[in-house]
Structure 1
């Protein structure tokens, strides 16, 4: 009985192995059949811009689909795509729709939820399948295509929703008409481009209105009624304008890219490539401050043939391409170089009238700006920013330049102002956060200003009186800059760091500054000589005893030529601004500290900086 059961089991095992082998064989056979079909269609469609997905859908619905020969449809489909993609040998003609659309919609919905005070929830913000199918015109697609599209779209929507929401938390921006136009343009351009290329490769006529959603659909799809009217109006305007522009642009580009493939267009091809290359080299040369000379870097014939695989083309094509390349290179280089020079001249100076309520003005390149608060001036003033492009006069041999130089002038006809208000000077900046700083050109040298470095910007604050005359500002990186540990958190930190970086004062050998130490008369006079630029003064006849507040007051009356100067005024300023009580309140014969001396000299001279 046991032997009989064993024979039966062996029979079934053999039968199972045979069955599995047949399944594997069928899968391999169907894969090969699909591969051959994909290869054949790829050769037919070469140069027509037909994607693998489009070719499959057309083949699947045609009479050529070998339904009677296929046992494993999945293997056949896989083989088809592999065969088609390996032999199409063309650039990608369709956009990565799920990524682009998921990124755009996720970014906008993340921003929208934050602005509306809604707790971050990408799943709740994600439109349902019915809405997405209508938004992206998926109703005519296969179930398999729709499932794959929605899966990828959801992944990218989640990623960019979260990124946008987090970015909004860090740096929120105002929702306004301008923001609405910007957001609308982003999505409108994306959708216009998508349906433009889709319409062309589906052999449709150039009609951007075919898939353009109505205002009602746009408002519904992007929940615009939950935002303010200005944002909604701007979004609708930006969406439709950008949709039309991008649709027509992409449709025509697709047409051009398909028709400009003939060998007789070699000269045009070469000129197009040369034009772009010439513009690139001109940009590099201009940024390197080289003179306008297109022949300096133009490649020779052999390099052009190698760079653009012209050895695969006919000799006539190569000759035409090279001739066109040289013409395009020369034209592109010179036009781009002259354009840079013209832009520099046109965009050199900008002016604006700033009212008494305050305002801001940015340079033409938006890399520099000045901001005036309300009440700083008692009447409107004219602010002018002059960009000093590549001006070697204002370079420094001691620092690394990290911006252009900008000259700021303020025309204040009444001369009245509130000097307790501060004017903000701000640069675009992404450099070293310790060694970078804003400097002002004073008396033929660059002097450091207390600088605050935030994400993407560096800024400083100056008093209005310091801009009675023009002020030239720039950003430098001081490789030798250092911060003394015992000045961090000190009440006079900004003044001490500024005077150290200006070379007026120095620390000790043990890398400390000792701000609360007393200062001798010799040290005090030495600092004065640097601040007031006295010629090579030596103070050998003075003792090294600490100097008192009373002695400082007497000396500063002579230095400032102001016999009304009182140290007590500075002590009161310290008390009000820094909550520091000077020992001079106890007795004027007490000794002044190093920090107090720097604080006094900095603020006595801040109208210069």
Structure 2
């Protein structure tokens, strides 16, 4: 059954794709029969692969999901065909696979379920006709509204269907049409009466309760006997106060009936409750009252002290006799009652405070640390308080490991918290460590880190590093926030993580749907990249030398002030006016050979950067002569499904988005 539903969903997705993206399916008709056959087969397999990746919560990557050429040839017995047929089939298969995968992955909510169209259409059209006939003042006669058999055959093109299906469709349609018509007609007719009665009863009960309770308490404290109808308003008074003569008669009658019933119930309840409360206060021992109230007070004070990080000391909350008398209005009580209350209150306060403080502190420490052995099959590891989790996929580690999650309690003087003027702490701090006696792990498979979260989109997961909190690329859903971390960063070492809300965070509108959005937002929130004055990022325009070197200086933590002595020499360049806003950065970069003074005595700091120039800068910055832009371009193609212009020429200009991705990929 699940396979059938999924098959129908795939078919629906094909139709959905044809309606929304007709251009995607044109190429299949532009080649020979082998290409068409391959395209059709690839399209289906691409759709199926997309559903598999969505079910396994994998990121979008058609390139990774696509079968290899050898597998395609084997699966479709292409070794029996001519080489020309085989080549064209494989080419068509890949095109179809890519289109089917991408279209399905981007529209996962397109879902189809088996539908009895004759019954569904009949019922819905009957409903519409029923409502229309009632409001048009016509009689309840569905036979006058239902389309004739001839009209139905014409309307739904049933001449192309087998006779058995056609006859069944017409019969079922008319039966459901009648049901929908009569249901809608009567609903339109009787619903207003039903609604008026229900609303009248609800409103009457509400006001009856209020007035009944008020008069019940008043009569008791006035020493009047329990007589609920003594001050009950007359029907005319109720109608006048609540303007019932202006409403429907059914509403008015229901209101009056419910008002009186609720008035009586609440009157008697309030009268008797007042009597009980009064006598309890008169006859109950003051000690018992004081102790019970003191217990509540002590528990409350303990919870406040725990929250504020204060020590276990109930003596800091001493109350004088006058404090207790004033707070609990004991002026007019019997002296013995007052003395007993004060004694009981003090005992209850100490007992309640100690019990809550000790039990809460114990529970707090019990939920502090969690250590779990994880096999090579992977597992989910939850923090002891169940508010944070690590999802370790199989294949990340090649041997069993021990995972430790330690919740940091209280104020840790070794950790500097971010500015409260900008950041709102939205989780506890957790220290995570993976212990492994072997070095083997897959550095290309990240660990999923999730926190419970219900805040705004400006929230993010941060890592504490070098006395600073660094934003990690974070995804927010209905009840959690998630980031992916490099397993190597916490293997045989530890990392501290927490969630903060950045009150000044923002995402430029022109990043919506962009392939490098996550990396760009991360660098914006870290202050590494910057936006333009109109609050756009313009990811696809070429980056300038000033912009790229500024970001590199923050990523690689250049000490640009060390080149202060070289600043004066820059004043001799012909384009110093352009250089001046970046003079310290420019001086450092000239000194380190990232920038060169041209034979024309210019630096051209605002000029666009070619891929070749960016590659040279990164080799110097990383101290790695083997760095190659081609490796980054390959990752962009594989991970982001984006082809770089560098494939055409390394003299083309690197975009702002590509530059951010390069720095992020090479340093994270």
Structure 1 length-normalised TM: 0.56
Whether 1:448 and 2:471 are equivalent positions in the alignment is: yes
* Structure 2 portions without partners, runs of 5+: 1-211, 227-257, 562-584, 596-602
Equivalent residue for 2:518?
494
Equivalent residue for 2:619?
557
Separation of aligned partners in 1, 2:342 and 2:641 = 75
| Deviation larger for 312-321 or 569-578 | 312-321
Equivalent residue for 2:505?
481
Deviation at 1:431, TM superposition (A): 1.8
- Is the 1:43–1:87 contact (alpha carbons within 8 Å) kept by the matching residues of 2? no
Deviation at 1:465, TM superposition (A): 2.2
Deviation at 1:307, TM superposition (A): 4.6
- Is the 1:438–1:473 contact (alpha carbons within 8 Å) kept by the matching residues of 2? yes
Q: Deviations over 1:352-383 (max 9, x none)?
A: 11122221122222222211122222222111
Separation of aligned partners in 2, 1:530 and 1:76 = 75
Cα 1:376–1:291, aligned 2, differ >3 Å: closer, same or farther? same
Whether 1:86 and 2:270 are equivalent positions in the alignment is: yes
Match of 2:417 among 389, 395, 403: 395
Separation of aligned partners in 1, 2:276 and 2:560 = 72
Deviation at 1:44, TM superposition (A): 13
- Is the 1:422–1:462 contact (alpha carbons within 8 Å) kept by the matching residues of 2? yes
Deviation at 1:466, TM superposition (A): 2.6
Separation of aligned partners in 2, 1:337 and 1:286 = 7
Match of 1:461 among 462, 477, 484: 484
User: Residues 421-436 of structure 1 correspond to what in structure 2 (within 5 A)?
Assistant: 421-433=445-457, 435-436=458-459
Q: Secondary structure at the match of 1:447?
A: strand
Equivalent residue for 1:272?
292
- Is the 2:545–2:609 contact (alpha carbons within 8 Å) kept by the matching residues of 1? yes
- Is the 2:368–2:385 contact (alpha carbons within 8 Å) kept by the matching residues of 1? no
User: Residues 250-289 of structure 1 correspond to what in structure 2 (within 5 A)?
Assistant: 263=283, 265-289=285-309
- Is the 1:390–1:404 contact (alpha carbons within 8 Å) kept by the matching residues of 2? no
Separation of aligned partners in 2, 1:501 and 1:438 = 11
Q: Secondary structure at the match of 2:448?
A: strand
- Is the 2:432–2:494 contact (alpha carbons within 8 Å) kept by the matching residues of 1? yes
Separation of aligned partners in 1, 2:502 and 2:259 = 64
Deviation at 1:305, TM superposition (A): 3.7
Instruction: Report the number of matched residues.
Output: 377
Whether 1:516 and 2:540 are equivalent positions in the alignment is: yes
Equivalent residue for 2:551?
527
Equivalent residue for 1:126?
none
Match of 1:379 among 384, 399, 415: 399
Cα 1:332–1:577, aligned 2, differ >3 Å: closer, same or farther? same
- Is the 1:263–1:317 contact (alpha carbons within 8 Å) kept by the matching residues of 2? no
Q: Deviations over 1:255-288 (max 9, x none)?
A: xxx9x99957432332222122111122122212
Cα 1:278–1:563, aligned 2, differ >3 Å: closer, same or farther? same
Separation of aligned partners in 1, 2:262 and 2:495 = 69
Whether 1:471 and 2:495 are equivalent positions in the alignment is: yes
Match of 2:389 among 356, 369, 384: 369
Q: Deviations over 1:391-427 (max 9, x none)?
A: 3424112522111110100112222122232211111
Separation of aligned partners in 2, 1:271 and 1:263 = 16
Q: Deviations over 1:33-81 (max 9, x none)?
A: xx9xx99xx9999xxxxxxxxxxxxxxxxxxxxxxxxxxxx99998974
Equivalent residue for 2:442?
418
- Is the 2:450–2:483 contact (alpha carbons within 8 Å) kept by the matching residues of 1? yes
Deviation at 1:298, TM superposition (A): 4.9
Cα 1:78–1:280, aligned 2, differ >3 Å: closer, same or farther? closer
Q: Secondary structure at the match of 2:464?
A: strand
- Is the 2:298–2:349 contact (alpha carbons within 8 Å) kept by the matching residues of 1? yes
Equivalent residue for 1:592?
654
Equivalent residue for 1:241?
none
Structure 2 length-normalised TM: 0.52
Q: Secondary structure at the match of 1:471?
A: strand
- Is the 1:407–1:471 contact (alpha carbons within 8 Å) kept by the matching residues of 2? yes
Deviation at 1:310, TM superposition (A): 3.9
Equivalent residue for 1:157?
none
Cα 1:312–1:465, aligned 2, differ >3 Å: closer, same or farther? same
| CA-atom RMSD in angstroms | 3.4
Equivalent residue for 2:363?
343
Equivalent residue for 2:241?
none
Deviation at 1:335, TM superposition (A): 3.5
Q: Deviations over 1:307-335 (max 9, x none)?
A: 54545642211211111111211232233
User: Residues 95-134 of structure 1 correspond to what in structure 2 (within 5 A)?
Assistant: none
* Structure 1 portions without partners, runs of 5+: 1-30, 46-73, 94-257
Q: Deviations over 1:74-101 (max 9, x none)?
A: 99998974664233126999xxxxxxxx
Separation of aligned partners in 1, 2:469 and 2:537 = 23
Q: Secondary structure at the match of 2:350?
A: helix
Q: Secondary structure at the match of 1:382?
A: strand
Q: Secondary structure at the match of 1:89?
A: helix
Q: Deviations over 1:108-140 (max 9, x none)?
A: xxxxxxxxxxxxxxxxxxxxxxxxxxxxxxxxx
- Is the 1:394–1:405 contact (alpha carbons within 8 Å) kept by the matching residues of 2? no
Equivalent residue for 1:315?
335
Separation of aligned partners in 2, 1:529 and 1:512 = 22
Q: Secondary structure at the match of 1:514?
A: coil
- Is the 1:285–1:291 contact (alpha carbons within 8 Å) kept by the matching residues of 2? yes
Equivalent residue for 2:58?
none
Q: Deviations over 1:5-29 (max 9, x none)?
A: xxxxxxxxxxxxxxxxxxxxxxxxx
